[in-house]
């Protein structure tokens, strides 16, 4: 039985074993686009065909600079495979020691009709008593071809498959001397039983949605390797281009390092002190508030060279070889800066006391805060201290010389190893 689809379009495919490609690959975050030379009809096993978006199968000129529009008729034929006419080995009963050579006459899932080669006799045999000297094809085959074929044109067929994909992930290591190392890794994932070989691989990143036969949509992402700069194709980026041969084994993950310069990481320690007004006391308009807190680790990423796709970041402290946290990095444009806080650090302490004076006549408040920041680490650290008033309050901040700072306080400091720093600031709550 043949299942025939004929479509007039710009599509093409070539006669090659579909499990081995010497061609180009464009990888996205949930599918891949394969480019290969068209040398004639292509055949796909059922397992492969189920992962192909057949609407995406197109034929075009191999020349990237060609402005000629080529039109082809595309044919997709489903071929039911069977072993009719082939020589098989049959045991007439389970205890028979040596199987008998037979010709398959009519194949069935339970009982098949065969002809004994030596005698010419026909008989029925159970399927589990049949042996093969070759691997039998039990699944259907889909053949894709294009007409007419022009002898004076080099043609490429492309199609989308959802069993290949990639995603980016990152590692960030901090060292005892305060230096950092940021590494980009590309995971190429094959969720199919097929193996692939590609001469060139493009890692793409962007926001493209495709629907496959199972009703699920896939989102595309593009990226490029170390030798080319990031390229933007109408919102889809070439992140990395890998100009080397890659062999992808069945059900495998290949991890490749991607070298992108000019990505800088700075580690700071930050804390934001929020000023509040306690319930008024009956006896005195003056109250004292004190507290002690740990600083948060803050990571600043400066990306000045390339688009960065979204991915998970694992953070390590290389001085003690321990995993210190995980973060999900969003998509970052070229030259975009990004900050994130991740966990408290017990070695950086904030100690403060605040004196609150309330003028009951004007209903205004004066808050004077003494701050002590202690660094217990064996190295100097970068500190960012901020203070704001709670949302229901309008405040003006002043430094220890009563110079106005605006509606909030921010101090960027460097504290040497095993040392501390103290300062004072004042905030006035406005009526």
113 and 73 in a single domain? The answer is no
How many CB atoms neighbour CB 262 within 10 A? 11
Bond preceding residue 148 cis, omega within 30 of 0: yes
How many CB atoms neighbour CB 132 within 10 A? 12
Whose CA is closest to 31, among 226, 206, 200, 197?
A: 206
- How far is 362 from 369, CA to CA, in rounded Å? 21
**Residue 402 domain flag:** yes
The predicted structure's pLDDT at residue 230: 46
**Residue 147 domain flag:** yes
**Residue 348 domain flag:** yes
| Helix, coil or strand: residue 38 | coil
Number of domains in the chain: 3
293 and 157 in a single domain? The answer is no
The predicted structure's pLDDT at residue 82: 75
- How far is 273 from 386, CA to CA, in rounded Å? 6
Q: Does residue 198 contact residue 96 with C-beta atoms inside 8 Å?
A: no
The predicted structure's pLDDT at residue 16: 38
Question: Who's near 309: CB < 8 A, 6+ residues apart?
Answer: 29, 167, 168, 205, 221, 223, 237, 239, 331
363 and 387 in a single domain? The answer is yes
146 and 12 in a single domain? The answer is yes
Reduced 3-state DSSP string for 100-155 = EEEEEEECCCCEEEEEECCCCCEEEEEHHHEECCCCCCCCCEEEEEEECCCCCCCE
Question: Who's near 43: CB < 8 A, 6+ residues apart?
Answer: 15, 18, 79, 141, 142, 143, 144
CB-facing half-sphere around the CA of 183: CA atoms within 13 A: 14
**Residue 93 domain flag:** yes
44 and 154 in a single domain? The answer is yes
54 and 127 in a single domain? The answer is no
How many CB atoms neighbour CB 330 within 10 A? 12
The CATH code of the domain that includes 110 is 2.30.30.40
The predicted structure's pLDDT at residue 268: 93
- How far is 239 from 228, CA to CA, in rounded Å? 8
- Residue for token digits 């919102």? 235
**pTM strictly above 0.85:** no
43 and 111 in a single domain? The answer is no
**Residue 52 domain flag:** yes
Q: Does residue 198 contact residue 258 with C-beta atoms inside 8 Å?
A: no
- How far is 405 from 407, CA to CA, in rounded Å? 7
157 and 295 in a single domain? The answer is no
73 and 116 in a single domain? The answer is no
**Residue 353 domain flag:** yes
Domain of residue 393: give its range: 266-303+339-429
418 and 349 in a single domain? The answer is yes
354 and 273 in a single domain? The answer is yes
Q: Distance of CA 202 to CAs 191, 227, 360, Å?
A: 19, 12, 69
Whose CA is closest to 213, among 50, 22, 104, 362?
A: 50
**Residue 125 domain flag:** yes
Q: What is the pLDDT along the chain (431 residues), one digit of tens a residue?
A: 333 333 333 222 333 344 444 589 999 988 999 998 888 899 888 888 888 998 899 988 877 666 666 788 899 998 877 788 889 899 999 899 899 999 999 888 789 999 999 999 999 999 889 998 887 776 778 899 998 877 777 888 999 998 999 999 999 998 878 788 899 999 999 998 888 999 999 998 876 666 665 544 443 333 333 334 444 455 677 888 888 899 999 999 999 998 876 788 999 999 999 998 776 554 567 888 899 999 999 999 988 777 889 999 999 987 777 898 999 999 888 888 999 999 899 999 999 999 988 877 777 889 999 999 999 998 899 999 999 998 888 899 999 888 999 999 999 999 999 999 999 999 998 76
152 and 281 in a single domain? The answer is no
**Residue 243 domain flag:** no
């Amino acid at each position: 039985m043949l299942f025939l689809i004929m479509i007039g379009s710009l599509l093409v495919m070539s006669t090659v074993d579909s499990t081995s490609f010497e061609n180009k690959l464009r990888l996205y975050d949930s599918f891949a686009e394969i480019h290969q030379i068209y040398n004639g009809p292509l055949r796909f096993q059922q397992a492969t065909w189920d992962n192909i978006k057949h609407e995406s199968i197109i034929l075009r000129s191999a020349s990237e600079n060609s402005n000629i529009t080529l039109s082809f008729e595309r044919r997709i034929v489903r071929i039911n495979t069977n072993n009719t006419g082939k020589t098989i080995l049959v045991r007439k009963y389970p205890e028979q020691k040596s199987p008998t050579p037979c010709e398959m006459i009519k194949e069935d899932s339970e009982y098949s009709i065969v002809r004994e080669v030596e005698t010419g006799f026909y008989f029925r045999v159970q399927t589990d008593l049949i042996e093969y000297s070759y691997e039998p094809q039990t699944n259907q085959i889909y053949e894709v071809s294009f007409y007419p074929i022009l002898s004076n044109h080099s043609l490429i067929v492309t199609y989308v498959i959802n069993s290949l994909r990639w995603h980016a992930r990152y590692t960030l290591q901090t060292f005892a001397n305060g230096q950092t190392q940021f590494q980009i890794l590309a995971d190429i994932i094959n969720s199919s039983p097929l193996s692939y070989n590609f001469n060139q691989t493009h890692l793409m990143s962007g926001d493209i949605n495709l629907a496959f036969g199972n009703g699920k949509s896939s989102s595309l992402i593009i990226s490029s390797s170390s030798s080319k700069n990031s390229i933007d194709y109408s919102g889809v980026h070439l992140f990395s281009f890998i100009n080397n041969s890659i062999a992808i084994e069945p059900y495998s993950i290949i991890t490749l390092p991607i070298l992108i310069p000019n990505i800088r990481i700075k580690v700071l320690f930050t804390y934001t002190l929020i000023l509040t007004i306690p319930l008024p006391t009956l006896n005195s308009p003056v109250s004292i508030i004190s507290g002690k807190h740990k600083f948060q680790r803050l990571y600043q990423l400066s990306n000045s060279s390339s688009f960065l796709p979204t991915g998970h970041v694992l953070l390590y402290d290389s001085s003690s070889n321990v995993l210190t946290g995980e973060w999900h990095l969003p998509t970052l444009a070229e030259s975009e800066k990004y900050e994130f806080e991740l966990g408290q650090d017990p070695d950086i302490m904030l100690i403060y006391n605040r004196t609150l004076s309330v003028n009951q006549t004007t209903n205004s408040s004066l808050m004077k805060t003494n701050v002590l920041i202690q660094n217990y680490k064996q190295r100097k650290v970068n500190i960012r201290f901020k203070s704001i008033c709670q949302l229901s309050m309008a405040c003006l901040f002043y430094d220890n010389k009563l110079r106005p700072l605006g509606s909030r306080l921010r101090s960027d400091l460097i504290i040497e190893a095993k040392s501390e720093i103290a300062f004072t600031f004042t905030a006035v709550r406005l009526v």
